[in-house]
Amino acid sequence: MPRKRSTWSIRDAKNSFSAVVEAAQHTPQVVTKHGKATVVIVAADEYARLQTHERLNAPRFVDHLLAMPTDDGGFERLRARLRDIDS
């Protein structure tokens, strides 16, 4: 059985979009433009799985806030003269 294609030029992907979509149900399909990978087409259930995985691994905003260092009053104040805003 021949190996299924997984990389498509943008022209081939456009001309064979149904085949790209069908192949993406089994394995991600890479679309290239000028020889460089541009996009990857994945099945909707795989995309949903990746989104869930990303959300589960993302730190919560409160965790970012709690991880910030505290200054304990140790930051030095700027001793320079501030600019005159009336000029």
Q: For the domain that residue 34 is a member of, what is the CATH number?
A: 3.40.1620.10
Q: What was the pLDDT predicted at 2?
A: 47
According to the model, what pLDDT value does residue 87 have?
60
Residue 34 counted as domain residue: yes
**pLDDT of amino acid 40:** 97
The whole-angstrom separation of Cα 15 and Cα 72 is 63
pLDDT digits 0-9 by tens, 7-51: 999 999 999 999 999 999 999 999 999 999 999 999 999 999 998
CA distances from 34 to 38, 48, 66, 72 (A): 9, 29, 46, 55
> Quick check: is 51 in a domain?
yes
Over the stretch 47-77, which tens digit does the pLDDT of each residue have? 999 988 888 877 888 887 888 877 776 767 7
**Which structural domain range is residue 47 located in?**
7-67
**Would you say residue 78 lies in a domain?**
no
Residue 30 placed within a domain: yes
* The overall pTM is greater than 0.75: no
Note whether residue 72 is domain-resident. Answer: no
